[in-house]
Structure formats: C-alpha cells, structure tokens
Amino acid sequence: MEKKNNYALGVLLTLLGGIFWGFSGTCGQYLMQNCKMDTSFLVSVRLLVAGIILVVYGFIRDARDMVGVWTSPKKIMRLLVFAIFGLAFCQFTYLEAIRHTNAGTATVLQYTAPVMIMVYTCTLARRRPSKTEVLCVVLALAGTFIIATHGNPSTMAITPAGLVWGLISAVAMAAYSLLPVELTKRHSGITVSAWAMLIAGIAFLLATQSWNKAPVLDISGILALAGMCVFGTVLAYTMYLCGVKMVGAMQASMLASIEPVSATLFSLFWLKTPFMWVDIIGFACIFVTVFLLAKKKV
C-alpha cells in the first residue's frame, strides 16, 4: 500500500513539475508582452533568483555534494560550460522564441530537441535509426511544418524569427540535456543545476548589463515574475527530481511531457492566445515523438 502511495505521489509531483514548467513559459509571455520586459533582464533575474534559492536548499540538503563539485578543474570547467552553453543559452533562446510566437508554440517547437538528440546519438554511435526513430523524425518535421505554415508552404503562420528561435531553442535544449551528463554521474541534479543557475545568472547579468533594462512592474507583473522564478523554476525542477526517484526516469520523462500541453492551455485561457485546429495537429505530431522516444528508453 505504501509503495502504491509513493508511486501515486511521484506521478503527481512529476505532473506538477511539467505543469509548472509550462506555466513559467506563459508567465514569460505575459511579462514580455504586457510589461515590455527585456529578454536578457528576464533571463538574468530568473536564473539568479532560482540559483540563489537552489544553492541555499542544496547546502541544507547535502553540503558535501555542493562543495564537492568544485574540487577539480575538470568538474569546474564542465560546470561552467553547462551553465553558459547549456542553461543560459537554453533560457535565452526559449524566451526569445516566446517573444516572437507564444508560450505554447515556443514550448512545442523546443520539444523537437529529443529528436535532435536521437539523430546526434545515432551519428555518434554510427548506427542506423530504428523504425520508431525514423517515424519520430518524420512526425517532428511534419509537426514543425504544420505549425509554421498551417499546411500551406506558400505562407507562414508564424514569423520566420519565431520559427528560427524555436528551432534554436530546441538545439539549446539538446545541449542542456547532453552537457551535464558526466557531472550528474557524480553529483545530484540539484547540486549541478543550483550552481549552474547561479553562475549563468551572474554571467548573463554582467554580459548584458541587463540591470539597465529593468522595467517598472505593477503587482501583476511582480506576481508573474515570482511565479516564473519560484513555481516555474525552483518548484518545477525539485518536484520533477522527486518524481524521478519515485516513478523512474522513463515514466517521469513521459509525464513531464505535459509541459507543452500546459503552456498551450495557460496561453489560451490566461492570455487569450488564439490557436487554430491545425496548430493542435502540429502540436500533437511533436507530442507523439516525445512520448515514443521516452518510451523507447525503457
């Protein structure tokens, strides 16, 4: 009975993590569209706030692990590379995709990343993709084509900038998934992510001098920013990691793919972003690829 209860709790936590990730994208859309917030400022604040909270939590949870990641030059270099070229790159390109499209469309386009990772691993291993993997590539391409053109190649349903940023964010998400692999073999996901967020936030803030672009926020803007940092980053990630421990990585990755559905629904019902039935078909094509590739990892 206790095992069943733990599994049910793991499912709930993983789903909430995915839903909160989707919610964070919609908060970002609100802040950029309604509060005219600059992308670089939003990335800096999100990473800094979440990084500080997670670093404090990490030391409370396991101080030895938090210190241990700084014990060798190789680990430090991997952490820095992940922070800049994985985390910061992923956050910036995703929010730029939202700026040029909307939270739902940007999140779905970013979810073509598993297909890119699959192609990369097949190339690295010098093996032919399986039938399922080929089907996933076809579905991902079809979904992207439908979202971009609504089935009419002579017109664009989203801006070219939105499509380009969406696909770049998928590349960034693939890098975000692959770069910390060696670190997470020796240290917890919380440790790696906490330090990476803090490093990325500081580096991004200094590089862009985004403190000069801080907008004046009303109470709704402050709440949206807090929702993005706390619910959409800190709670989302910690809930997902707890879910992984309780239900396993494969089930968790499938459950967390509720994120694009969540982002689309929040964008539709909160921000009244219009979607057409043909968009849903494109979303479904990409959503199926995520499910198939996650299921294949068993």
pLDDT at 296 over 80: no
Q: What is the mean pLDDT of residues 225-236?
A: 94
Question: Residue ranges of the domains in the chain?
Answer: 2-296
Is this prediction's pTM over 0.85? yes
pLDDT at 297 over 70: no
For 153-179, write each residue's pLDDT tens digit: 888 889 999 999 999 999 999 999 889
Q: Is 213 exposed, middle or buried (0-12, 13-18, 19+ CB in 10 A)?
A: middle
Q: How many CB atoms lie within 10 A of CB 143?
A: 24
Q: What is the pLDDT of residue 287?
A: 85
For 72-92, write each residue's pLDDT tens digit: 999 999 999 999 999 999 999
Gap between the Cα atoms of 285 and 140, Å rounded: 6
* Average predicted confidence (pLDDT) for the chain: 91
Closest CA to 162 of 141, 146, 148: 148
Gap between the Cα atoms of 163 and 23, Å rounded: 21
pLDDT at 152 over 70: yes
Gap between the Cα atoms of 20 and 241, Å rounded: 13
Measured CA to CA in angstroms, residue 66 lies from 9, 69, 183, 186, 190 at distances of 27, 6, 12, 11, 9
For 181-195, write each residue's pLDDT tens digit: 899 889 998 999 999
Q: What is the pLDDT of residue 250?
A: 67
Closest CA to 173 of 100, 248, 89, 253: 89
Q: What is the pLDDT of residue 200?
A: 96
Gap between the Cα atoms of 106 and 168, Å rounded: 10
Contact 44, 208 (CB under 8 A): yes
